[in-house]
A and B are shown apart, each in its own frame.
Chain A
Amino acid sequence: MLLELLVLLVPAALGEDVTQRQLKPVKGVPHSRLHLYQPSTTDTFRCLDGSQTILYSQLNDDYCDCKDGSDEPGTSACGNAFFYCSNVGHKGNFIPTNRVNDKLCDCCDGSDEYDSGVDCPNICDELGRAARIEREKIANVARKGFQKRQELAKEGQALRDAKLKDVEPLRQERANIEPERARLETEKKAVEEVEKKLQDEHRNQWEAVRIEKKKLRAQDWFDELDLDKSGKIDREELRQNLFLDNDHDGFVSEDEVKSYLTIDEADFEHFQSSMYDRLKEARHQHREEMKYKEEQEKEKAKALENAPDDDDLLADEDRHEEEEDPEDVRAQEDDKMPDYPPEVNEASEKAREARRLFDEVNEKVQDLDAKIREAEDFANSDYGEDYAWAALKDKCFDRNVQQYTYQFCPFGQNTQKDVGAYGGTSLGNFKNWSGGETNKYSKMHFGDGQQCWNGPKRSTDISIECGEENELVEVTEPAKCEYLFTFRTPLACTDPDKEVVHDEF
């Protein structure tokens, strides 16, 4: 095997006159680069990175000498070199040299398997023909698509221009209103301050009265509870109050009163500060419970009789509402602040009017701000170099896959829903163009969709291809909750007649 290779290369290296103008062919090197691989006058080869000079016979001798692999373009000896398949009839291309003589046919002309014992037929003509047909088909699509894109670009540009044009008068109008808005705001603040001051005064006065009244009520109850009139309440006295029977055993135990009376006995001061509110709450609770029980029993009794009479039930409820605890009624009255006097109401009326006037103008300003922001956003958004994508803003594209409908909304939110269902699951909101530096507009990323169970928030990547129509052509889920849409659109079509054909390395 090796010897064959040497035989093949040796005459090329030694047998010919190096001064001859015709370039020596070198395996794996395209014609356009052959000049780099010609022997020096001393019959040597300098590695292309300049790192070393070797005998010309060591070029393509199936041993890697150069660090950059440049001495072995035609064998698999270097891990970092490339082999050129000329593929006459089709398209020439480079393959990594680790595919040379590996028993797999990689070049359509079979030139990569010259020494592996595998016979690779030359299928370049066939492939070339098919490829030309395919290329033409693609070019046709691109041509049509590109035309549409230009129209869409105009549309997008027009939208943008309109937005930008609209925004100046809006800004002007806002500027005109602003002094009025500011004036009204100052006025509003001034009268509101007066209003608040008067209200506060009234409230404070009443608060003092309320506290006094509450104290009196507490004193009354304290006296009532202080059975032996000793000026102090002890646990024994508390235990006489059945509403403290938490566990409903018909008897108030030491434990049941302990949480209300944590010290041995309470004077009025302690009663007022630490016990009154809680006892009141307990008594209220107790009464509610009693009422509920009573009702239940009545209903039971009713049920035992014949079908209940609606009127009776209503009457029952009415009765209950009337049956308010007099103590509670008194407390409620005491707690209710008396109406504001007329001078406060007058101030409030003024404030209300000032607010109304301000709000009216302010709303206008906010509305203008929103419009300006939208226009600015539009102008600042990235709709592609020619603004063509602006035409797809607010548009959506659907695709049904088995039981689901997937929706792609270019600058909005993607969703998945059951076919025919309303609403759906968010697969993410538009985040950015993600095609990288070289091909930014070939991909979009959507993120922050609905959280997955035991997984990430849903997201979608959009792969964008040239097509005659806007169409969502494929939906897959490569990883759980990470979707991949393929979207075909004229917006991704470039002018096929302007494209440069890159053929060589």
Chain B
Amino acid sequence: MTAGSSWIVPLILLAAPLAVEMVKREEFKTCDQSAFCKQHRAISEPTGYELLADSIAHSGAEWSANLQNSQNTLKLKVIGLADSTVRVQIDEPETAIRKRYVPNPAFVALPEELAFESVENGAQEAKIVGGNKKVKVVVSYKPFIVNIFNKLDELVAQVNRDGKLKVEEFRTKEEGKEYPDGFWEERFKGFTDHKQHGSSSVGVDISFVNFKTAYGLPEHADAFALRNTVGNTDPYRLYNLDVFEYELNNPMALYVSIPYILAHRAGRSVGALWFNAAETWVDTQSSVTSKGLFGKMFDKVVGAGDNVPHFDAHFMSESGLVDIFFFVGPTVKDVQRQNAKLTGTTPLPPLFSIGYHQCRWNYNDEQDVAAVNKGFDDHDMPMDVIWLDIEHTDGKKYFTWDKHKFPTPNDMVDKVAAKGRKMVTIVDPHIKKDDGYYVYKDAKDKGLFVKRTDGSDFEGHCWPGASEYLDFWHPDTRSYWKDQFSFDRYTGSSSNLHIWNDMNEPSVFSGPEITMDKESIHYGGIEHREVHNMYGMMYTSATFDGLMARTGGKERPFILSRAGFIGTQRTAAIWTGDNTADWGHLEIAAPMTLSLSIAGVPFVGADVGGFFGNPDEQLLSRWYQTGAFQPFFRAHAHIDTRRREPWLFSEQTQGIIREALRTRYALLPYWYTLFQQHSETGVPPMRPLFYEFENDDSLLEEQKQWMVGNGILARPVVEKDTFNVQVKLPRGEHKNERWYEWVSGAEVRGESIYVDAPITFTPVYQRGGTIIPTWQRIRRSATLMRDDPFTLFVALDSEGNSKGEIYMDDGQTHDYQSGQFVKASFTYKKETSTTAVLEGEHVEGKFAAKNWVERVVVRGVESSPKKVEITRVSDPVQPLEFSYDRDSKVLVIRKPEALITSSFKIHIEF
């Protein structure tokens, strides 16, 4: 929810001219209205830094030197890290009056340093080769440029090639001295921001060499591939904000800020993480020629003449350091892993959380919850979680319940849990200013709130009215918050109740740009401006600690958050906030979730149906079909909208929704396996096409279709009144990829095809060469399906082979960390011209999974087999029944009865 309805009501009554309309752009700053952005963006001449060769020092994994221009002296560090990663850091020298903030909590662990292989400090430049020769850095002294090379010795990125490096050091105000506009204070919309230490911005240009296309910088309601902002629009803004009815296709800030860019071309990728938690703007531009003073230098380094493309990003932050991590790949999955090594992955989510979530602002009372719970059963639709928004509380005091509407929360949760389901309640970081509210009283007494510059508690308005905001940098706040989730303290909670952290940008209805004043003070004297973008992440990580602690670390927590930063993925899923029930918002959901996915946040989704407004049946139908193929699958609606539980619509629409839900639940074993793989490799379950078809440059802009894992290509219809769509089925480098229509199993030919997509149909395809495990017994909730048998969908590649994996465990505890899981692999191999074998192999883990393979569906089989037999471990060979469909070329093998915890072989003889 946003600072929308109930807050605006009183305002409207007071001041009629404040009409409600789409996003109030004027509420939010443009680059021109932000003093530092305006200043950095205006840099047109190189700032003239050069490296002082005699200041060079190095030892182990660290190489340092001083930089100097007419303004000041800076300290450069190049730090070698494990896994093809290098860190380039530019700070004030040791003489600085104050330490600049580094958002270390965003790391999964402090970066693992790796000593350099070699260092060669020349007269003009220094050559630094990383450990294992996985990365090389060439620093040229004058002009100062950092050149980054991958292990193939290809120049992939340059820092300060355009000479935009600028670092404003912290100051103490000197009387009588003249300072530029906005240096000590800045006004916006009646708010004045006092900068205690003066304007302390940083900025530099990063050029991705030999790349035309780049991605990332979530979160924006914009195209997946980054656009040219230079000369066109404001820069992309990264400043976590609660934006009411956000607009599409523009670079305005939203709820999440991840200053990460991935540049990609056929076969090569490089990633750059701008490690800074302050307000950040990024100007981006893709060009083909080099320019200006640096052309020569560029040519020399690249050695490739004038026509080298490059994607330039000018990062500008209000505070913090120039601190960049380069992940040099060389492949896109390498880059993703390298980023994950530093910032972490999403731990394996509990099984229920990848099922379907039913939310609304608000389910009114316990009767309402019971009716919704029953509604899904009465209409034979699977559902896993019922959500309660802010109205469930007693006066927006989180951890409390409205006594009239929710008199027996424990019973209510138990009843929902009796069907294998869970509930989620909302807990926001603003604390109602009310001495009768224990959380407020405790936090007040212990001094856990964010402070004003005068030392008093910061106060702002949010849902409860006057509120204060917990300071999650304070260790006492973190331990206090952790305790609040214990079952005895949070009345009505149990291990079946999980948590939704909303409004954590933080949203402050009465603050500048609907958020916290930048001059506010956190623990240790940190200014809010230094850490704003990570407030939401610090909050969800504290909640995570609480949910871990309440079961002594046994059960896996589930948390949904609206705000996010680097590292958010370790503790929360993210949804794209308060979208609208229109076609544009349905369409933008894919680019937004893809963008988050590649930036390291894989558990993402958009409100199905659209938060604001009332979707018609066509839009709602298409939204369910789309949401079923995006990682986080939740329907949600604003309090002013009509009820939209699936059974309130026509029979046809109910049928479409039921089918979308069933499709999702059928694929849960596949999704679950993908999430498990993500937790190890960082590769997101929802992927852009170029992740799987790295060498195909025609897919770089694709954002209407995506891959789920390596095996499923989804192209849901997101256009109004559209019943025929174009689908691109990449044929791969060797033009031999095969594709099968998911439902019918028939092979589809052609690289770019037009497909009939009546309202009941979602274009989804299985890639040849993959084996996808599914559940075909769709029950009331995912938990109830955990032990069910699998149906394997085997899609043959051009060689007649395919392979896949499955991961299973108990679906809810951390016992998998002590081996209570099972990993199995499936391989289908054409052995001779008349025989093939499907081999199931237990790979790892000791979980006694009860699941067995009840059916194998082989797609793309040229002729009917004569005989199918199975050998299970030491059993004798047994014949299996099968059927073959000549038209679709699909072979169905009946009931192999093979457990995934032991190995088996199915022999097929033609």
Cβ-based interface call for A495 (8 A): no
* Category for how many chain A residues contact B: 20 to 34
Cβ-based interface call for A53 (8 A): no
Flag the segment in B170-178, B448-456, B492-500, B639-647 that touches A: B639-647
Q: How far is the CA of A452 from the CA of B641 in the complex (A)?
A: 11
Q: Tell whether, in the assembled complex, residue B784 and residue A102 are in contact, meaning their CB atoms are under 8 Å apart.
A: yes
Determine which of A1, A77, A98, A479 lies in contact with B779 in the assembled complex, contact meaning CB atoms within 8 Å: A98
On chain B, the number of residues with a Cβ less than 8 Å from chain A's Cβ atoms is 31
Q: How far is the CA of A454 from the CA of B4 in the complex (A)?
A: 11
Q: Across the two chains, which residue of chain B brings its CB closest to A3?
A: B897
Q: Tell whether, in the assembled complex, residue B895 and residue A79 are in contact, meaning their CB atoms are under 8 Å apart.
A: no
Q: Across the two chains, which residue of chain A brings its CB closest to B12?
A: A453
| Residues in A whose Cβ lies below 8 Å from that of B897 | 2
Determine which of A79, A103, A104 lies in contact with B777 in the assembled complex, contact meaning CB atoms within 8 Å: A79
Q: Tell whether, in the assembled complex, residue A102 and residue B780 are in contact, meaning their CB atoms are under 8 Å apart.
A: yes
Cβ-based interface call for A99 (8 A): yes
| Residues in A whose Cβ lies below 8 Å from that of B640 | 452, 454-455, 480
Q: Tell whether, in the assembled complex, residue A77 and residue B368 are in contact, meaning their CB atoms are under 8 Å apart.
A: no
Q: Tell whether, in the assembled complex, residue A77 and residue B777 are in contact, meaning their CB atoms are under 8 Å apart.
A: yes
Determine which of B5, B642, B777, B895 lies in contact with A98 in the assembled complex, contact meaning CB atoms within 8 Å: B777
| Residues in A whose Cβ lies below 8 Å from that of B752 | none
Cβ-based interface call for B778 (8 A): yes
Q: Across the two chains, which residue of chain B brings its CB closest to A479?
A: B643
| Residues in A whose Cβ lies below 8 Å from that of B419 | 104
| Residues in A whose Cβ lies below 8 Å from that of B779 | 76, 98-99, 102
Q: Tell whether, in the assembled complex, residue B850 and residue A1 are in contact, meaning their CB atoms are under 8 Å apart.
A: yes
Q: Tell whether, in the assembled complex, residue B854 and residue A96 are in contact, meaning their CB atoms are under 8 Å apart.
A: no
Q: Across the two chains, which residue of chain B brings its CB closest to A484?
A: B643
Cβ-based interface call for A477 (8 A): yes
Q: Contacts A63-B894, A454-B20 known; A77 to B854 CB distance under 8 Å? A: yes
Cβ-based interface call for A366 (8 A): no
Q: Tell whether, in the assembled complex, residue A482 and residue B642 are in contact, meaning their CB atoms are under 8 Å apart.
A: yes
From 22 to 79 in chain A, residues with beta carbon under 8 angstroms from any chain B beta carbon are 61-65, 76-77, 79
Question: In angstroms, how far is the closest chain A Cβ from the Cβ of B873?
Answer: 15
Cβ-based interface call for B583 (8 A): no
| Residues in A whose Cβ lies below 8 Å from that of B780 | 98-99, 102, 104
Most central of A2, A99, A456, A478 by chain B CB within 10 Å: A478
Q: Tell whether, in the assembled complex, residue B776 and residue A479 are in contact, meaning their CB atoms are under 8 Å apart.
A: no
- Interface readout for B826-840 with A: 1 if CB under 8 Å, 0 if not? 000000000000000
Q: Tell whether, in the assembled complex, residue B776 and residue A79 are in contact, meaning their CB atoms are under 8 Å apart.
A: yes
Q: Tell whether, in the assembled complex, residue A454 and residue B5 are in contact, meaning their CB atoms are under 8 Å apart.
A: yes
Question: In angstroms, how far is the closest chain B Cβ from the Cβ of A482?
Answer: 7
Most central of B642, B852, B894 by chain A CB within 10 Å: B642
| Residues in A whose Cβ lies below 8 Å from that of B855 | 63
Q: Across the two chains, which residue of chain A brings its CB closest to B418?
A: A104
Cβ-based interface call for B511 (8 A): no
- Interface readout for A92-125 with B: 1 if CB under 8 Å, 0 if not? 0000101100111000000000000000000000
Cβ-based interface call for B9 (8 A): yes
Question: In angstroms, how far is the closest chain B Cβ from the Cβ of A182?
Answer: 53
| Residues in A whose Cβ lies below 8 Å from that of B850 | 1
From 631 to 650 in chain B, residues with beta carbon under 8 angstroms from any chain A beta carbon are 639-643
Q: Across the two chains, which residue of chain B brings its CB closest to A96?
A: B380
Q: Tell whether, in the assembled complex, residue B364 and residue A478 are in contact, meaning their CB atoms are under 8 Å apart.
A: yes
Cβ-based interface call for A381 (8 A): no
Q: Tell whether, in the assembled complex, residue A104 and residue B642 are in contact, meaning their CB atoms are under 8 Å apart.
A: no
Question: In angstroms, how far is the closest chain A Cβ from the Cβ of B431?
Answer: 27
Q: How far is the CA of A310 from the CA of B169 in the complex (A)?
A: 78
From 353 to 404 in chain B, residues with beta carbon under 8 angstroms from any chain A beta carbon are 364, 367-368, 380
Cβ-based interface call for B198 (8 A): no
Cβ-based interface call for B420 (8 A): yes
Q: Tell whether, in the assembled complex, residue A478 and residue B777 are in contact, meaning their CB atoms are under 8 Å apart.
A: no
Q: Contacts A63-B895, A79-B776, A476-B364 known; A103 to B642 CB distance under 8 Å? A: no
Q: Across the two chains, which residue of chain A brings its CB closest to B372?
A: A478
Q: Tell whether, in the assembled complex, residue A63 and residue B784 are in contact, meaning their CB atoms are under 8 Å apart.
A: no
| Residues in B whose Cβ lies below 8 Å from that of A452 | 640
| Residues in B whose Cβ lies below 8 Å from that of A65 | 894
- Interface readout for B772-813 with A: 1 if CB under 8 Å, 0 if not? 000011111000110010000000000000000000000000
Q: Across the two chains, which residue of chain A brings its CB closest to B20?
A: A454
Question: In angstroms, how far is the closest chain B Cβ from the Cβ of A72?
Answer: 10
Q: How far is the CA of A2 from the CA of B896 in the complex (A)?
A: 12
| Residues in B whose Cβ lies below 8 Å from that of A480 | 639-641
Most central of A96, A102, A104, A480 by chain B CB within 10 Å: A102
| Residues in A whose Cβ lies below 8 Å from that of B852 | 2
Q: How far is the CA of A453 from the CA of B778 in the complex (A)?
A: 42
Q: How far is the CA of A62 from the CA of B852 in the complex (A)?
A: 12
| Residues in A whose Cβ lies below 8 Å from that of B784 | 102-104
Question: In angstroms, how far is the closest chain A Cβ from the Cβ of B668?
Answer: 14
| Residues in B whose Cβ lies below 8 Å from that of A98 | 380, 777-780
| Residues in B whose Cβ lies below 8 Å from that of A1 | 850
Determine which of B9, B854, B894 lies in contact with A453 in the assembled complex, contact meaning CB atoms within 8 Å: B9
| Residues in A whose Cβ lies below 8 Å from that of B641 | 479-480
| Residues in A whose Cβ lies below 8 Å from that of B788 | 76
Determine which of A64, A104, A455 lies in contact with B420 in the assembled complex, contact meaning CB atoms within 8 Å: A104
Q: How far is the CA of A55 from the CA of B79 in the complex (A)?
A: 71
| Residues in A whose Cβ lies below 8 Å from that of B662 | 79
| Residues in B whose Cβ lies below 8 Å from that of A2 | 852, 897
Question: In angstroms, how far is the closest chain A Cβ from the Cβ of B179?
Answer: 46
| Residues in A whose Cβ lies below 8 Å from that of B778 | 79, 98
Q: Contacts A63-B855, A79-B776, A104-B419 known; A479 to B894 CB distance under 8 Å? A: no
Q: Contacts A63-B895, A98-B777, A104-B419 known; A478 to B643 CB distance under 8 Å? A: yes
Q: How far is the CA of A66 from the CA of B380 in the complex (A)?
A: 20
Question: In angstroms, how far is the closest chain B Cβ from the Cβ of A134?
Answer: 19
Q: How far is the CA of A476 from the CA of B852 in the complex (A)?
A: 47
Q: How far is the CA of A96 from the CA of B367 in the complex (A)?
A: 25
Q: Contacts A2-B897, A96-B380, A104-B420 known; A482 to B643 CB distance under 8 Å? A: yes
Determine which of A63, A456, A476, A482 lies in contact with B854 in the assembled complex, contact meaning CB atoms within 8 Å: A63
Q: How far is the CA of A1 from the CA of B848 in the complex (A)?
A: 14
Question: In angstroms, how far is the closest chain B Cβ from the Cβ of A77?
Answer: 7
Q: Nearest 9 A-B pairs (CB), nearest first?
A: A479-B643, A102-B784, A63-B895, A455-B640, A98-B779, A76-B777, A102-B779, A480-B640, A479-B642
Q: Name B residues whose Cβ lies closer than 8 Å to a Cβ of A.
A: 5, 9, 20, 364, 367-368, 380, 418-420, 639-643, 662, 776-780, 784-785, 788, 850, 852, 854-855, 894-895, 897
- Given A1-B850, A102-B784; 7 other pairs, CB 8 A cutoff: A62-B854, A103-B420, A104-B780, A453-B9, A454-B20, A479-B642, A480-B639
20 of the cross-chain contacts (CB-CB < 8 Å) are: A1-B850, A61-B895, A64-B776, A77-B777, A77-B854, A79-B777, A96-B380, A98-B778, A98-B779, A99-B779, A102-B420, A102-B779, A104-B420, A453-B9, A454-B640, A455-B640, A478-B643, A480-B640, A482-B642, A482-B643
